[in-house]
Structure 1
Amino acid sequence: MEQLYDMKPKIETMKTKIKDMEAHIAAQKEQIETLQNRKTMKCESGVVVKYANPPPSWPYIQSVQFKSHFEERPTVTYGLYFLDSDRSTNLRVITEITDVTKTGFRMKLTSYDDSKLYGAKINWMACGK
């Protein structure tokens, strides 16, 4: 009988550990289910280029169509990575993305005042569901 009483604390400790493990397993199952049910995110990228000598007229607007449409309007990020201008004038450039939809967007490049901009290249990336 003494041996049974000695085992009681160990049994209670094991019961607690089993409950903790069951809770952990339930949380893991919930995470797996969430991951299986979420829609996958996709990204698409490209480049917008305008270059000419003599300098082209500005603004330059290009419509970009995605290769495959998104289920929701994606987030579009971009960066200017190439710029060629006349060194004797001030450099003024504005880049903006407008009209973002599930199927594409518009990229606008603008130079103003006395700036002589020969060309610019912009990388973009659209990500979403």
Structure 2
Amino acid sequence: MAKIQSMLKGVLHLAVMLVVFGSAAYAKCQSGSIGAYNYPQAPEYPVKEIIIFDPPFDEKPQMMYGLNFIDVNYAENFRVNSSLVHIDKFQAILQMSTWHDTKLYGVGLSWMACP
């Protein structure tokens, strides 16, 4: 019985730590999706998207981003680039582009910024 109580106490302690520390860190992160799409006319690339952090971070956050969709003409080469152009505690600017003969109808990015 004492062993079970000790195990339950350990599990409860771990659960409290996850709630206190895990949710506090998660609450400070912000995320979303951006993109450009215009079929059958391809958007003018490069496309820059401004992300406004609401609320602003206390200092410049770290940011991760990645492609979440792409629509490209099957008869042309497949080239796409995404880059973080600027980031501060108030906003970030992500750029999506292509080059050479790629006809890119649409591209989307998912992002997450954390302190």
TM-score with structure 2 setting the length: 0.75
Matched positions, count: 91
Q: Are 1:122 and 2:109 an aligned pair?
A: yes
Q: 1:117, 1:51 → 2: CA distance?
A: 9
* Matched AA of 2:35: V
Counterpart residue number, 1:80: 67
Higher helix share: 1
User: Residue by residue, what CA displacement relative to the aligned partner does 1:72-96 show, whole Å, maximum 9, x if unpaired?
Assistant: 1100100101000000000110100
Name which of 61, 64, 67 aligns with 2:54: 67
Runs ≥4 in structure 1, deviation > 4 angstroms? none
* Mapped pair 1:110 → 2:78: no
The reply on whether 1:47 has 2:10 as its aligned counterpart is no
Task: For residue 99 of structure 1, report the CA deviation from its aligned partner.
Answer: 1.2
Q: Which 5+ residue runs of structure 2 have no aligned equivalent? A: 1-19
Between Structure 1 and Structure 2, whose CA radius of gyration is higher?
1
Q: Which runs of 5+ in 1 are unaligned?
A: 1-34
RMSD: 1.6
